[in-house]
Amino acid sequence: MKFTFHNPTRIIFGAGTIEQLGSTVSAYGRKALLVTGGGSVKNSGTFDRAAASLKDAGVSFAECAGVEPNPRLSTVARGAEMARKEGCDVVVALGGGSTMDAAKVMAAAIFYEGDLWDMFPHGQGNRRLPEKALPIITVPTLAATGSEMNCGSVITNEESTIKSFVTAPCLYPKAAVVDPELTASVPKNQTAFGVCDLITHVTESYFNGVDGTPLQDRFAESVILTAMEWGPRAVADGNDMEARAQVQWASVVALNGWVQAGTFGPYPVHMIEHVLSAHHDIAHGAGLAIVNPAWMRFAAKARPERFVQFAERIFGIQAKHPEDQEAIAEGIDRFEEFLRAIGCPTRLFEVGIGDTMLERYAQDTVLVAHDDQGRLPGRPVMTTAEIVEVLRSAL
């Protein structure tokens, strides 16, 4: 193993930590761009609590409301314009992954010359990463993406229907105020999609990473087992604060880089899913619940011993030999059953997607992520025909 790892985001975790938002933000600025989504933070009372905490700390703010799920590039541009006009010197994201992702790029857009879309790979030659951003403070209200403590953002260009990602050191939040109580109002379906998303963040590196990372394997397995233990409880009772806290901590750990350190795995399942949520505006976690089991059945042929390990360690299945096909199939089936049991869709028709555009989805996938032969990186690498095959198996 050989790697460097540095995550500079300070995390303030626990019930009631929203009260510390103002003092946290005031260390970085006096006027915040307060970024919110479609209204859930107003309905839950979270907005008022955040506003009061900012006010107590002497921080004023301009609100950029209305970030949509699967956030659009035009929304990012609107927020950046508002931050400029209002003279904001810090950005606070109060919402789910979409709100946080949009807020991060707004913070960087202030300093970015030219077309914002150049930050995002979409088949262009002139990709330019952002190098500077206003200080970012994240307050997640949904346990899912881990965006609160990582340097990534996923944005959709609504003109081309391409959803792409940017990762850059300047996008690391300065601090993440992670208060599980804020997730109490998340509906059952979004809770389940979040559980699926966080599990998929670690299955990506688990199945696509380099060989010889036994400690990282165990980290990933512990995230999966923890999510499978506490996720159903959070779905069953949204006010079960112990379950909410465990799921949220799992979601942070799943994608703050710690589990992935040294694994260097690409994210093929995410790359395929992003195309579905770009075209059909479905919830990211719901799309993953459909694509991941289908992808696993495909990828297991290339790396059976890894899928036997998954079956054994996650589901306690006794394999008869290191490449036992029955054990592999049972492990994937049981994983899919878990997703279904908590309320995730596992077939494309359940989210209204048919077979008419499979080729287009595959083309869009490799437009954003491809090796030098135009194939989707992963273990194994996938041709567009193989992406179509996986999607077809999920119809």
Site for ligand NZQ, rule CB under 6 A: 37-41, 44, 69-70, 95-99, 101, 141-142, 144-147, 150, 152-154, 182-183, 185-186, 190, 194, 197, 255, 270, 274, 277, 284-285
Cβ atoms of 364 and 275 closer than 8 Å: yes
Query: What is the nearest approach in angstroms of ligand NZQ to the Cβ of residue 302?
Result: 23
**Residue 74 binding: pick among ligand NZQ, Zn ion, none (C-beta 5-8 Å cut-off by kind):** none
Q: Residue 165 is inside which H or E element, if any?
A: strand 162-167
**Residue 226 binding: pick among Zn ion, ligand NZQ, none (C-beta 5-8 Å cut-off by kind):** none
**Residue 203 binding: pick among ligand NZQ, Zn ion, none (C-beta 5-8 Å cut-off by kind):** none
Question: Measured at CB, which residue is nearest to ligand NZQ?
Answer: 96
Mark 95-134 with x for binding to Zn ion (rule: CB under 5 A) and - for no binding: ----------------------------------------
Six-digit token pair at 82?
């508002």
Q: Which is nearer to Zn ion, 25 or 289 (CB)?
A: 289
Given 101, 181, 197, 204, the residue binding Zn ion (CB under 5 A): 197
Stretch that binds Zn ion, among 72-80, 189-197, 239-247, 312-320 (CB under 5 A): 189-197
Q: Residue 153 is inside which H or E element, if any?
A: strand 152-157
- How far apart CA 376 and CA 272 sit, in angstroms, is 9
Residue 379 buriedness (CB in 10 A; 0-12 / 13-18 / 19+): middle
- How far apart CA 320 and CA 389 sit, in angstroms, is 29
Residue 76 buriedness (CB in 10 A; 0-12 / 13-18 / 19+): buried
Stretch that binds Zn ion, among 105-113, 197-205, 260-268, 371-379 (CB under 5 A): 197-205
Which of 169, 100, 165, 110 minimizes the C-alpha distance to 134?
110
**Residue 69 binding: pick among ligand NZQ, Zn ion, none (C-beta 5-8 Å cut-off by kind):** ligand NZQ
* Tally of CA atoms within 13 A in the half-sphere of 171 that contains its CB: 25
